[in-house]
Amino acid sequence: MLADTFQRLNTYLESQVIGQPALVKQLLIALLADGHILVEGPPGLAKTRAVKVLSDCIEGDFHRIQFTPDLLPADLTGTDIFRPETGEFTFQPGPIFNALVLADEINRAPAKVQAAMLEAMAEKQITAGRNTYPLPDLFLVMATQNPIEQEGTYPLPEAQLDRFLLQLNVDYPSEASELDILRLNRGEAQGLEKPEAVHVTKDTIFEARQAVLNTYMAEDIEHYIIRLIMATRQPERYSEQLNNWLQMGVSPRATLALDRCARAHAWLSGRDFVTPEDVQLMAYPVLRHRLLLSYEAQAESVKPDTIIATLIEQVASV
């Protein structure tokens, strides 16, 4: 029954966010694995729409934050405001105090703002002045960045990237999907009825997260995850090519993320056990933003996905 609810949610989201099934599924996996997602892709590919439609389906508030170079940490976290009638300062929460937050073009904000996001994402709390305030129990950040425009941007440091559970690269929809988008937009403009939305409570989400953690993972699969992670740190054991491409391996956060995401993928696929294919499919969004490529790999324009494919090919799954 619990899995059916999320299957219906997935179907509804795909009907409203056409041509981006990977984005929809990874959003749900991030929700189930209690993590955050970084999305790269050109403008206009329904990144904002995906989070907005998801927020309409779950119990929680949504807020979009447009990141700009002149943004201040207080614009994000909130600040103490003086109340003349009481002669005291009271804290006015900022837009980060919402269940679903879209951080649009996060790499356009300076380091101070990025640091404020880091605390929120890693510890689910905000420090303002001398006080620390907890964020909602249900808290998910989807950040976007445009991979084409680099002028006036502040690249996210490795510590910030490591806080994201997943990184997803979004591409243009197919010709058939583009036609469906056209018809959906026309129908919305004409005020035609939408399919009935699926409503999911916070308790249901927390129950589903527990079910994901209880999804069976054999000891061989656990060792497979560890071997993949260790291969990023000791690439010389596998091939000279990998050793030349990788400057630094991934952190233990990647191990935890790959474990939870593989379980979430299996559970969302209707299974109560994890397979090597679940690990391999989730290795791409879990690892691609965590790998630190060498100068040689950058000079040769080697993509992180190429390195991950090589890792999967060379590391035995059993």
DSSP bridge partners of 131: 128
Tell me the C-alpha to C-alpha distance, in Å, between residue 6 and each of 55, 237, 274. 14, 41, 18
Q: How confident is the model at residue 56 (pLDDT cuts 50, 70, 90)?
A: confident
Please report the pLDDT score of residue 318 as a whole number: 60
Please report the pLDDT score of residue 191 as a whole number: 64
- Comma-separated ranges of CATH 3.40.50.300 domains in the chain: 2-189
Q: How far is CA 7 from the centre of its chain?
A: 19
Question: Would you call 210 helix, strand, or coil by DSSP?
Answer: helix
Please report the pLDDT score of residue 61 as a whole number: 87
- Comma-separated ranges of CATH 1.10.8.80 domains in the chain: 215-314
Q: What CATH class has 215-314?
A: mainly alpha
Please report the pLDDT score of residue 128 as a whole number: 78
Q: How confident is the model at residue 294 (pLDDT cuts 50, 70, 90)?
A: confident
pLDDT tens digits, one per residue of 262-285: 999 999 999 999 999 999 999 999
pLDDT tens digits, one per residue of 222-271: 999 999 999 999 988 888 889 899 988 899 999 999 999 999 999 999 99
CATH match of 2-189 with 1.10.240.10: no
Global pTM value: 0.89
Question: Would you call 143 helix, strand, or coil by DSSP?
Answer: strand
pLDDT tens digits, one per residue of 98-116: 999 998 888 888 888 888 8
Question: Would you call 141 helix, strand, or coil by DSSP?
Answer: strand
Give strand ranges (E) for 99-169: 100-104, 125-128, 131-134, 140-145, 166-169
Q: How many CB atoms lie within 10 A of CB 72?
A: 13
φ, ψ dihedrals at 200, nearest 5°? -120, 130
Residue 148: is its pLDDT beyond 70? no
Please name the residue that has the structure tokens 């991950």: 308
Contact 126, 135 (CB under 8 A): yes
Please report the pLDDT score of residue 281 as a whole number: 95
